[in-house]
Chain A
Amino acid sequence: MMVNKLIASLLLVLVMSISAFAQSKSKAPVKKAVSKAAPVAAGMQNSINNGKVVYTQYCAVCHQADGLGVPGLNPPLSKTVYVLGDQTRLINIVLKGLSEGVEIDGETYSNVMPAMAFLTDQQVADVLTYVRNSFQNKASAITAAQVKAVRANSKK
């Protein structure tokens, strides 16, 4: 009897963990690197998923679906100092645009990036969290509160 119960509860645990595993797999189709590394907090994963939608609509046209940009025109978003470095600078790139002529790995880019201040704080946070965790990047989330603060500061 005792043994039976033990086997039953062991089975239950096994079934539960398999289904949980399957779920987490289907929920995170975005990036292999993400699912392999330490589990991403649910909130962050949510932000990445929403950020992908924003990226496809507003950024992919220039930076391309694979985030590698267009040679000579639009820079890559893979492991650049802008994406992984100072977060205020990164948020400002989306809010104010950029046309200073960045140089990445000896390459320059002749196009301009328009300001996209029309995006909500949450959209900016999501798209940057997505970018910072795609295209071989692995970095912390950007929050809507951070975007709000940067936006308020730049209005002064």
Chain B
Amino acid sequence: MKRYTFLIVQIIGIIIFSSFKSDNPKSLKPVKVSPDQDNAGLVLPKGFGALIVAENLGKARHLTVTPKGDIYVKLSKALNEKTIYHLKDNNGDGKVDEQIGFGDYIGTGIFLKNNYLYASSDEEVFRYQLNHNYEVITPDKPEKLVTGLINKRQHNTKSIVLDNNNNIYVNIGSPSNSCQYQNRAKGSMGIPNCPTLDSAGGIWQFKADKLNQSYKEGVRYATGLRNVMGLDWNPENNTLFVMQHGRDNLSSIFPDLYDDKANAELPAECMFMIKKGDNAGWPYSYYDPIQKKKILAPEYGGDGKKEADPSFIDPVVAFPAHLAPNALLFYTGNQFPERYKNGAFVAFHGSWNRAPLKQEGFFVAFVPFKNGKPSGEWEIFANNFAGTENITSTSQAKYRPCGLAQGPDGSLYISEDKKGTIFRIVYDGK
């Protein structure tokens, strides 16, 4: 009996002590964040290190990091019935030690600007007011900014970003591959004046502080974009940039014009600089990275060589086909070396449509920028998310990069949705 009493006293003591600890997180001395052994399996340029900050979140899509260093991550599959997680690192060792779930709608988009957290379902956009610690004040009562966006399963995710004028940009992906009469069917031609473009296949602009907007209140800011997952506002030239997921299935729809190798190499995954009113050409055109030309889509009479309407905008960067760019981030931090400043990071989810050829692109790329224009070739920044070089089937990949965010200290955060891992990339200059 005596022994038990002692034990109980001890347990109570531990409880009191640990609650005291979490009540005063700031009084703890911050431990220096150090990379995991072997950089968590990632391959990085010299001087960079990686650590896993959170794991097992499931379908972790986009994420954002607050000025205090907390993470908000959007899930496209509920985890313990919640679809947004607020992740905290109370002891400052770089690893998340507290997870607070809220939200009951699955989705992809999440973005933080000024005193609001913005998040999207596959049909709607919400915002949450934040307190001075960047914590959501009423997690169960978001304000609905945008509603009624089309969701026909395919390309239904709504990525979001804000400019500096209180506008929010929302990607509305096309519910088809190439606007055929029969989606992805062999030989089926494209519907003239693709009707999809009225309500999808572009970027829509809404007010970031007006409730219950839909198509009527929004502006079709840019069209001819098949599906954009990664988008960001370039702080240098104050312009929207997007990464398009290019069309699939050239060889299975038009086997007489394209073989499997051509399908694996066409078309480029394009980065576009977007000005209001731009048309990027989908479904009538695709960008061929080998001929370096906009080519008329076979669904609209193309033969792999005929050029498309020249009024469609050109890409600013052409990446290899089918790599699936899921996030774009302009880096404004001071932690990384000077050449990374204002450059673009792009998270690639990795391909599936290259089959039967080997799958590629389970990496984060970097493009140096100057004054809002690429100033050099793109390069692989963080590699080996797949865990092996030889991926013949997509599900063999260990991790699939999906979201990007910058921390207050200039660290780069990468989410992945195969297992739900969040990586943090740091630079120690050695």
List which A44-99 residues lie within 8 A (CB) of chain B: 56, 58, 60-62, 64-66, 68-74, 76, 97, 99
Stretch at the interface among B63-71, B181-189, B200-208, B293-301: B181-189
CB-contact partner of B355 in A60, A111, A114, under 8 A: A60
Query: Does B156 belong to the interface (CB within 8 Å)?
Result: yes
CB-contact partner of B393 in A68, A115, A116, under 8 A: A68
CB-contact partner of A71 in B185, B355, B418, under 8 A: B418
Query: Does B394 belong to the interface (CB within 8 Å)?
Result: yes
Q: Which residues of B contact A118 (CB under 8 A)?
A: 186-187
Looking across the interface, which residue of chain A has its beta carbon closest to that of B263?
A61
Cβ of B418 and Cβ of A114 under 8 Å apart? no
Cβ of A114 and Cβ of B393 under 8 Å apart? no
Q: Which residues of B contact A58 (CB under 8 A)?
A: 252
CB-contact partner of B356 in A65, A68, A101, under 8 A: A65
A52 CB → nearest B CB, Å = 11
Cβ of A64 and Cβ of B184 under 8 Å apart? no
Task: Tell me the bound Cα distance from A56 to B357 in angstroms.
Answer: 10
- The contact string, 1 if C-beta is below 8 Å from chain A, for chain B 146-186, is 00000001111000000000000000000000000011111
Cβ of B76 and Cβ of A72 under 8 Å apart? yes
Q: Which residues of B contact A112 (CB under 8 A)?
A: 153-154, 183-184
A71 and B395 contact, Cβ closer than 8 Å, known pairs A114-B186, A115-B185: yes
Task: Tell me the bound Cα distance from A111 to B245 in angstroms.
Answer: 14
- The contact string, 1 if C-beta is below 8 Å from chain A, for chain B 359-397, is 000000000000000000000000000000000111110
Q: Which residues of B contact A140 (CB under 8 A)?
A: none
Cβ of B395 and Cβ of A66 under 8 Å apart? yes
Cβ of B395 and Cβ of A70 under 8 Å apart? yes
Q: Which residues of B contact A114 (CB under 8 A)?
A: 182-186, 188
B182 CB → nearest A CB, Å = 6
Task: Tell me the bound Cα distance from A70 to B417 in angstroms.
Answer: 12
Cβ of B153 and Cβ of A101 under 8 Å apart? yes
Cβ of B395 and Cβ of A110 under 8 Å apart? no
Q: Which residues of A contact B186 (CB under 8 A)?
A: 114, 116, 118
Task: Tell me the bound Cα distance from A61 to B352 in angstroms.
Answer: 7
- The contact string, 1 if C-beta is below 8 Å from chain A, for chain B 240-282, is 0000000011011000000000010000000000000000000
Query: Does B213 belong to the interface (CB within 8 Å)?
Result: no
Beyond known contacts A110-B155, A114-B184, A118-B187: 11 more, CB 8 A cutoff: A61-B248, A61-B263, A65-B355, A65-B393, A68-B395, A70-B395, A72-B59, A73-B352, A74-B352, A99-B183, A114-B188
Task: Point out residues on A near B: beta carbons under 8 Å.
Answer: 56, 58, 60-62, 64-66, 68-74, 76, 97, 99, 101, 110-116, 118
Which 9 pairs show the lowest CB-CB distances between chains A and B? A64-B393, A114-B185, A66-B393, A70-B352, A114-B184, A68-B395, A110-B153, A70-B394, A61-B355
